[in-house]
Structures are given as C-alpha cells and as structure tokens.
Structure 1
C-alpha cells in the first residue's frame, strides 16, 4: 500500500522525448511554473545521491530562478501532514496513511524552499486543481500556460496536465525535470501528455523561451546580474543568506564542482561561453558577473 523504495534510472533526455501533436510555443508572459509535490516525504523513496535526483533538483532550481527573473509566477503543491480520514478518503486505500505517519517530512526540500513571492497550494488529490484556486489564480494573473515539474510524473504531474488541458490551459511537461517510480512510467507519462493533453519540453527549452517569445530581440543580453544572483542564491543554504556578500568566495557557501559545471552547461545554451576553470578562478558572484559581462560584450562586438 505504501510507496516502495524506488530504483534509480537515467533521466530522460531530449532524444528520449516522444513526438508531440501540438507545436505550442512557451511564452513567459503567459506561463505559470508548477513545482509538484517536491516534499521531503516523497523524495525519501529515492537514493538522494543518484544522478536522477541530483538532475531533477538542479533543473527545477534552474527553472525556478529563470521564472523569478522573468516574472513568471511559481506555484507549489504540498500535501498537509494532518489529513483527516474524510479528506484523505480513497487515498488511504491506495497509498496508506502517507504523510500522516511522517509529519516531520512535510516541508518542501531545502533546495526548493518557497520564497515569499511564491504560492503554496494545499494538495488533496492527484490534480493540482482539485480543491484549490489554481485556475482562479491563473485567470487573475492573465496566464493560460502551465509548466509542470516535480514528482511523480505518471501520477500527479500527468493528471494535473490533463486537468489543465480540460480547463483550456496549455500544459508543458518538463521531461527532464520530473521523476517517477520507474523509467517506463516516466516515459509513459511523457507519451500520454505529448499525445493527448499537452507538450513535452526540456529544461533548456524553458530557459530559452524568453529569447523565442514574441518581442524578444537578439540585442537583449542573455544574462543579467539579477538572473545570475537568483541562480546562485537558490543553491545557498537559507541560514547563510543573511551573511552573504557578493565578493565572498562561493565555494565557502557550499557550491561544489557539479553545480559549477551545471552553470557552464546552462549558460552555454544562452550564448554565454564560460569554462569551469574560469568560474573557479573568478570565485565570487561579482567575479562571475565581471566574467560574464566580458563574454557578452565580446559577442556583441
């Protein structure tokens, strides 16, 4: 009845994504980002050190930082840890008591702790729309596209995408920012979405969407200091943020080689060519920004 331990598997890449039926273009001015059920309880069933989970976390962190920079609302779903029997209802039959047995694991994982500008919805069923005001929030924001990442791909994420479709909201499932019970179920969720209710995109597609949306110009810088700072601060422990200074060496705040390499890869998609060695030498947030500015000016000239 309870969720079993989940064996790791390779995170799907663009080459694994199914062919879609629609060619909807993701537009930051129309989008909302849904971070689905990324709570300590649901992550406990995975090997936290696996490439799957490290990639999942990093891609969600990157998309969230991008959304903050672009003014895209970020919405979380999170199940409560004190669900009454009448609220949990059939979930008890299917999954047991769930979070009720582990109330200390209710928070969203530390890497994705919601900020003050984010919205957290109480999650009651598979769909993020069930017993929530998500649709009303999106209507109030004037937005009709939903970017979906998190867990589990073939349950809540896929059902939320289907529910969005039935409400005339265009769902975009981020194929490499999801995790599931197995590789087969992960790919099934992508196939169903691509063939029936939405579009499957990559993290890179989301990060490049601002350049491709209507009104974007090639003269606009691909990176800004605010975007850089948001991406870096997403990786720093909340307890250390009050002490953070832009000239401090980032390694002192726990940034490791894997995270630094992820910046190299991610920024390359935005046209900023930096190397791992250059970032290590630049060391600080201000140092990184000076390096990026030089790179962008060189391209512009």
Structure 2
C-alpha cells in the first residue's frame, strides 16, 4: 500500500549530488517524460505541504518550455482496471490496481496532456517495459530523456536505469520528481548521478532549453525594436505581428502556443524586451500561457504598469 500524508522539503543546493557524467542537454536530442502523475499516485501527498506544490509547478514550467522548444512530451499512466496477469507481482507488493473510478487514473489537471503529446500505458516500474517508448524515441531521433514525476526511487529511477542501458541519456530533474520521503528522494538522486545519468534542477533544465533555442536561431531574425508595449492594446499588436495573426483573434486567455508563439518567436520577444539588469529570458516567456501572463511578466521585470491589462 502507498504511504499517507507525505510531506518533506525538496533537496537543494549542496545536498544535490555531483554528476559523474557531463552530458549536455540539447533540444534536438531530448524528450520530456512526465511519469505517473495520476490522481491515485499524487493523492498520498499532503495537499498544502511540500514537496508536491513545488514539484507540480516545476513540471508545469518544464512542460510549457518543452512544448515551446518543440521538445516531444511523453506521459506514462497506469490503467485503472488490470487483470491479475497484467498486474503480476505488483499486486503482492502494492495491492490491487487503481480501480474503476476514472478519476483515479486521470493525470492531474494542471499537468494534463495536450494535442501532440503522447500518453503511454504503464505496466511496470520503468516506462519502457511493455511500451514502445524506445521505438518512438528512435523514430524521432531522440536519445536524451528528461525524467519528472513520481516516485523518484521507484518508477522514475527504474526508467532512468533502463534508459541508460538502452543508450538513452537520462536527465533526472531533482525538484520535478517526488518520493515517499526525503531520504528516498536523495537516494534516488545519488544513484542516478553516480551510475546512470545527470541530475539537474528545473532552473538548470529551463536554462539549457533557452540556450539551445537561442543557439539554433538566426541572429539576423531577432527583433531590434527594444521598446516595451506601453499598454494592453500595444502588447496585443506585438503578439499579433509576431505570430502572424490579427489582434481580433487574440483574447486575454488565448493560448500562446496555439497562436503560433513558438520558441524562436519567444526568443525574438525576449531580446526585444530585455535591457541590462532587466532581462526577460526564453524560460520566463515559456511559462506564460496567455497574453495576460506576458503582460504581468513585463510589469514585474521592468517595474512598470501597462494600461488596460485585464485584471
């Protein structure tokens, strides 16, 4: 059975292990995995205590950045109903399957898949077992896997181990995984860093994605107009011009990726809206889902108030 009321602080700073490997995370080689973030497996965590609020927020930021950088996103999810043969040794170890309630098997709403993401049926600890994840990664030329989700010392660690044995470089996000306890969390990080992969914080992964996107762009395409939009209407005009849409098509809650604000366009806007000591990076824009959030980012970084921003 799963534990109850899990609560602990995420490891940080000097607690994080040194990596034996020195691989560089690259957007054209990597894929993001959200491992088992289903209601059933998230339920044991204390709702208002760490680590789950930070873990979920970090996974959400990585999802947004990965989609913007055109890094493929994969999910694993156990089916609710499983026959004894399908479940095998998981039953004597953990008890019965999730059950017939669809809510238990649902991926938590704030991390839900979108069109273009791939959801794999999960049967055993590691994401490769009884799935075609290896083949899918090979087909799209990906040999790096960014691992997030639960539980760090079980499925996440097993997936990293299997990836390594398949010559896929695992990148284990230290504050975008969660576990039964702080000790087990740290043990999983130690094993990955020492034997099979690279451990990175969410901030490190976002920075790597930003640098890779910047390096892949054409410097000649970057916008040179550094003027900030002075009000809401001006921001909508910039977004419309950047994405090739009309202002009338953009609402305050419009999804920026759906409008066409891809990674290179984000880099253009980041360059346009940055000045020394007040920089907006790709990672900052990548976690903005809507025009309102972009306006709030500009206001926060530059200490200005934009007229007409919906409240």
- TM-score of the aligned structures, taking structure 1 as reference length: 0.75
| Structure 2 spans left out of the alignment, 5+ residues | 224-234, 240-249, 255-273, 282-290, 304-311
Query: Which structure's residues are more often helix, by fraction?
Result: 1
Within 5 A, what are the aligned runs for 1:102-251? 102-213=101-212, 215-216=215-216, 245-246=251-252
Moved beyond 2 Å, runs of 4+: 100-104, 210-221, 269-273, 283-295
Per-residue Cα deviation, 1:257-292 (whole angstroms, up to 9, x for no partner): xxxxxxxxxx9x99429xxxxxxxxx9346336648
Partner of 1:272: 280
Question: 1:217 offset after TM fit, Å?
Answer: 7.2
Question: 1:100 offset after TM fit, Å?
Answer: 2.3
2 CA distance for matches of 1:181 and 1:48? 14
Report the CA distance shift for 1:270/1:164 in structure 2 as closer, same or farther (over 3 A): farther
The alignment status of 1:36 with 2:35, answered yes or no, reads yes
Q: Of the two, which has the highest radius of gyration?
A: 2
Q: Is the 8 A contact 2:279 2:301 kept in 1?
A: no
Q: Is the 8 A contact 2:169 2:197 kept in 1?
A: yes
Q: Is the 8 A contact 1:67 1:73 kept in 2?
A: yes
2 CA distance for matches of 1:270 and 1:290? 10
Aligned residues: 247
| 1:287 aligned to which of 284, 295, 298 | 295
Per-residue Cα deviation, 1:9-36 (whole angstroms, up to 9, x for no partner): 0011233210110110101111000000
2 CA distance for matches of 1:270 and 1:56? 27
3-state SS of the aligned residue for 1:21?
coil
Within 5 A, what are the aligned runs for 1:38-77? 38-77=37-76
1 CA distance for matches of 2:200 and 2:190? 12
| Structure 1 spans left out of the alignment, 5+ residues | 230-243, 249-266, 274-282, 296-301
Question: 1:216 offset after TM fit, Å?
Answer: 4.9
C-alpha root-mean-square deviation of aligned residues, in Å? 3.0
2 CA distance for matches of 1:11 and 1:180? 10
3-state SS of the aligned residue for 2:199?
strand
2 CA distance for matches of 1:113 and 1:80? 16
3-state SS of the aligned residue for 1:98?
coil
